[in-house]
Structure 1
Amino acid sequence: MSDPRPLPGLDESFWMDSTETPDHAYLASDTDADTVVIGAGIAGLSTAWELARAGRDVVVLEADRIAAGVTGYTTAKVSALHSLVYDRLRRTRGAEATRLFAASQQDAVERVAAIVGELGIACDLERVSAYSYAAGPQSLPQIEAEARAAAEAGLDASYVPGTELPFPAAGAVRAGGQAQFHPRKYLLALAADLIARGGRIFERSRVTGLTEGTPCRVTVESGRTVTARNVVVATHYPVFDRAMLFARLSPRRELVVAAPVAAGEAPKDMYITEDEGKRSVRSTPLDEGRRLLIVTGESFTPGTGNPAEGFRRLDDWMRERFPVGPTAYRWAAQDNDPSDTVPLIGPFHIGARHTFVATGFGGWGMTGGVVAGRLLSALVTEAPAPPWAELYDPRRLGSAVREAPSLLGAQAEVARHFVGDRLRVGHVDSVAEIPPGTGAVVRVKGRRRAVYREPDGTVRAVSARCTHLGCLVAFNEAETAWECPCHGSRFAVDGTVLQGPALRPLEAMETEGDD
């Protein structure tokens, strides 16, 4: 029986709700640039800013609004301690690769702090420690191994027997010198400085085509083009697949709840555990005497699971452990896990000369996006590349064997949805069965429609086939969206693309004769 309780909090992220959104024009005419960056999240804007700082003419193209996609819904931990990544890297990539990964991620933390100081950005930046903790003794061996691996990799990391959390933890890895901030305040300031340096930003300019060459040409949905020597694809999930990157990424969605707590009761550091369905905890300034506690967890593949129940479980977990007030916000963040743990940053494919990509941050996009900015700006300007360039190179071949189990597992899941979802007769038998405020896939006149019934009874019907590669979408009632379980594309109830890699909306359909 489903839980009758209403979902807690405002259905919006605190970062979005607490900032104004400046307007940027759409691309209304053809233009030229040295480099065009596709995507205006932290990876895209960091890359564009580094290039503009180096004196390059940069155009940024954003499908919606800047810093309003994945980056606007992050938990905004700026940390080199990524849960339990270092022991895994040491076993699969070796000690030197693990050291380079740690160095690059800590460099990103320091780069953010330096930029905040250089530009005087008021973004609530706080230097804190990060902890990966074991909820119970069964996880202690992994925590102890991670502490050793992180310290050997060069982080200021050590094993500690306890934490400041108001509930027991069996032990933890502590990494000093990390940070947390308000990501929108940071990126909006970065965008303003980018424009001051001569960069151009175009919003609501969804890219639909890329022609590689000398020069390259990028086309947006209106038909307008940007001709540029270099192109950077920083759309979180690449909107073009020139190197089988789709097969190396697994989309994952994670829920977030946030509630006010007295400043003295809020944790001052950042915490994460892989136990209890994964839980991540941090806080951020709210108002005088209070902070906002932010709790993340309940991961699921888009288009699967029950996000509404996940929100309730997460909210219950928060309330059992912290003396919080009424839940203020709830939102969800989407991430892409790379098949070999390391993000893909560098040349787009083996033959690429002037096209580059940044993707696969695995839930740690705040540091990953800054690493991308540093690395891609060096590649574009042909400056000396940082020592970790080869580690992140999307063309890396040595990881093929290491990636094989993850690749096979991810593609088996895609195949299960691609074939299995088509064998089902339908998720409901008719449009008449769909209650107000919900959606379902239904067969109408032999074709599957994704049908949503508005609270007032109005019916919206669109094709149930994702416009990316044709998998069937499923309805996410908690977020009122259609989601593709194969590669994570998301659509509004009218079919509009909310999140790629899909470039085209779901086709509007009729339901006459069924309802």
Structure 2
Amino acid sequence: MNEDLASYWIETAPPGRPYPTLDSDLNVDVAVIGAGVAGLSTAWELARRGRSVAVLEADRIATGVTGRTTAKLTALHTLVYERLRRTRGIEGAKLYGHSQMGALRRAAEIVDELGIDCDWERAPAFTYTCDRDRTQDLRAEAETAREAGLPAEYVTETELPFPVAGAVRVTDQIQFHPRKYLLALTDDLRRMGASLHEHTRVLGLSEGDYCRLTTESGGVVTATDVVVATHYPIFDRALLFTRLSPRRELVLAAPIDAALDPHGMYISPEEGTRSLRTAPYQDGKRLLLVTGEHFTPGSPDVEERFKRLAGWATDHFGNLSFTHRWATQDNDSTDTVPLIGPLHATSRHTYVATGFGGWGLSSGIMAGQLLSELIDGSTLSWAELYDPRRVASTLREAPAFFKHQARVAKHFLGDRLPPLSGGSVDDIASGDGAVLRVGTHVCAVSRDADGQLHTVSARCTHLGCLVAFNRAEQAWECPCHGSRFDPDGKVIQGPATRPLEQRE
């Protein structure tokens, strides 16, 4: 197995045109923060409507979470429809199905209109179980999904190389190369005159009749409207962090003979999630992508999880030679539904898209449709379903809400009490890290492969939870809200916008 963590999508797409860091002031109609699928889809929809748009990306375009997805574009989101029927009624499930299927149709229109070469394939999507005691759950899901407008049915056989007890099957879904798709959108944005900026981290937002964004690079953007599409919102004024729970998942890729292709996209909530699909490869083979082992950021056993996922894949598909492995991160909202719409209760010009729960491709494309309508002063029938201003403390959300708050409180308060990681700096092996108390400071100390120590503050710069070391990815991660930092404290992933403080 390739020991480097490299996303197949990032490695096999064209490098993309480099875009400059914003180091001067800029005035636009709409500023979009974040250049993943949600941000670029929103920017593209608005530019097509004649709005002047700026896209501000802290790293490279389409190399964040969207560049590390499994790239399933489907409206079948595991077991969401029966859950929505219980919490939002069948009308809520129908609105969800209508909006998600609409995102698939919109993506197909864009691919046709722009002539995008992105390994576009139609395939059925399945949610399956190997547990006979759970087949009733899948029967109910199939029935509700069908009533919600999906071409869904319950089946007992698939083309997987192992038997299933039952499955929900939805036809005519999509799998594709996400980075190739988004680079094509970016090229079209450039042709339409949009201002695109990479390595431009936004630090501040002032709201008013006109919004003002300040950046780490010194440029200031003045915009009538602002869209925060940073996966996890970098601004907490709406307290959305109380309703979002971060989780990471692992992805492995290996070539297989085309005869072993299961011809579909599959997911099971069992065994810490098992999800798979294939993609076009070379020499008459397909690339098998297997995802699973979800865990809280900062878990110490990531390498063991990679081995467990690899073992599951080889048990079911035979001897495999893995060519790529990587990890992705998702945010789950406490009531299942993404948060897309006004950023907070009094927002007039600021909007957010977050909480996609592992289904960011369909929800991100849908967010582009929804937010462009809202910014234009219109609305869609399903806008209220996704509105972030919906009450967070309703009975339907309360159990998950309080469970999430208890977990965060454990890290936020418990982390401030002894004991911290035992041992001393001398005990830290190459490639490992630990949180230690050094004098009056709580420090995150890691040792690189050359034996060099790296010491930074262990307090996440977002809200102060203690970070933990992910050995497999060589990163400090916040278990509360998912911020990630490299060994020298540089921000890899938000919501944090400032690096961990250096320590001697």
TM range (shorter): over 0.9
SS in 2 for 1:94: helix
Q: CA deviation at 1:400?
A: 2.3
Q: CA deviation at 1:398?
A: 7.9
User: Following superposition of structure 1 onto structure 2, how do residues 294-333 of structure 1 map, counting pairs within 5 Å?
Assistant: 294-323=289-318, 325-333=320-328
The one-letter code of the counterpart of 2:465 is C
| 1:129 matched to 2:124 | yes
For normalisation by structure 1, the TM-score amounts to: 0.96
Show structure 1 runs of 5+ residues with no match.
1-6, 511-515
| 1:449 matched to 2:449 | no
Indicate conservation of the 8 Å contact 1:8/1:312, yes or no: no
Residue by residue, what CA displacement relative to the aligned partner does 1:442-468 show, whole Å, maximum 9, x if unpaired?
111131110111111111100000000
Name the structure 2 match of 1:72. 67
Name the structure 1 match of 2:96. 101
Choose the corresponding residue for 1:253, options 248, 251, 254: 248
Indicate conservation of the 8 Å contact 1:335/1:360, yes or no: yes
Choose the corresponding residue for 1:208, options 203, 215, 235: 203
SS in 2 for 1:287: coil
Residue by residue, what CA displacement relative to the aligned partner does 1:334-360 show, whole Å, maximum 9, x if unpaired?
000001111000011110000000000
Question: In structure 1, what is the Cα distance between the partners aligned to 2:311 and 2:110?
Answer: 38
Bigger Cα displacement from structure 2, 232-241 vs 441-450: 441-450
The one-letter code of the counterpart of 1:131 is F
Indicate conservation of the 8 Å contact 1:473/1:483, yes or no: yes
| 1:418 matched to 2:417 | no
Question: In structure 2, what is the Cα distance between the partners aligned to 1:274 and 1:263?
Answer: 26
Percent identity, please.
Answer: 58
Name the structure 2 match of 1:488. 482
User: Following superposition of structure 1 onto structure 2, how do residues 30-429 of structure 1 map, counting pairs within 5 Å?
Assistant: 30-323=25-318, 325-382=320-377, 384-397=378-391, 400-429=394-423
Indicate conservation of the 8 Å contact 2:392/2:398, yes or no: no
Question: In structure 2, what is the Cα distance between the partners aligned to 1:237 and 1:277?
Answer: 22
| 1:432 matched to 2:464 | no
Q: CA deviation at 1:162?
A: 1.1
| 1:501 matched to 2:481 | no
Question: In structure 1, what is the Cα distance between the partners aligned to 2:430 and 2:298?
Answer: 20
Indicate conservation of the 8 Å contact 1:33/1:229, yes or no: yes
Residue by residue, what CA displacement relative to the aligned partner does 1:210-235 show, whole Å, maximum 9, x if unpaired?
00001100111123210000000000
Bigger Cα displacement from structure 2, 296-305 vs 477-486: 296-305
Question: In structure 1, what is the Cα distance between the partners aligned to 2:316 and 2:113?
Answer: 39
Indicate conservation of the 8 Å contact 1:233/1:357, yes or no: yes
SS in 2 for 1:65: coil
Residue by residue, what CA displacement relative to the aligned partner does 1:370-390 show, whole Å, maximum 9, x if unpaired?
0100000011112x3221111
Question: In structure 2, what is the Cα distance between the partners aligned to 1:121 and 1:417?
Answer: 45
Question: In structure 1, what is the Cα distance between the partners aligned to 2:4 and 2:201?
Answer: 28
Q: CA deviation at 1:23?
A: 0.7
Show structure 2 runs of 5+ residues with no match.
none
Indicate conservation of the 8 Å contact 2:8/2:324, yes or no: yes
Residue by residue, what CA displacement relative to the aligned partner does 1:254-290 show, whole Å, maximum 9, x if unpaired?
1111111112212221000011221001010111301
Residue by residue, what CA displacement relative to the aligned partner does 1:423-453 show, whole Å, maximum 9, x if unpaired?
2332132111101111111111131110111
Question: In structure 2, what is the Cα distance between the partners aligned to 1:200 and 1:221?
Answer: 17
Question: In structure 1, what is the Cα distance between the partners aligned to 2:271 and 2:398?
Answer: 28
Q: CA deviation at 1:397?
A: 2.7
4+ long deviations beyond 2 Å: 7-10, 397-401
Indicate conservation of the 8 Å contact 2:30/2:225, yes or no: yes
Bigger Cα displacement from structure 2, 190-199 vs 16-25: 16-25
SS in 1 for 2:272: coil
Question: In structure 1, what is the Cα distance between the partners aligned to 2:267 and 2:418?
Answer: 39
Bigger Cα displacement from structure 2, 476-485 vs 317-326: 317-326
Count of paired positions: 503
Q: CA deviation at 1:142?
A: 1.1
Indicate conservation of the 8 Å contact 1:260/1:324, yes or no: no
Question: In structure 2, what is the Cα distance between the partners aligned to 1:352 and 1:324?
Answer: 54
Question: In structure 2, what is the Cα distance between the partners aligned to 1:175 and 1:62?
Answer: 35
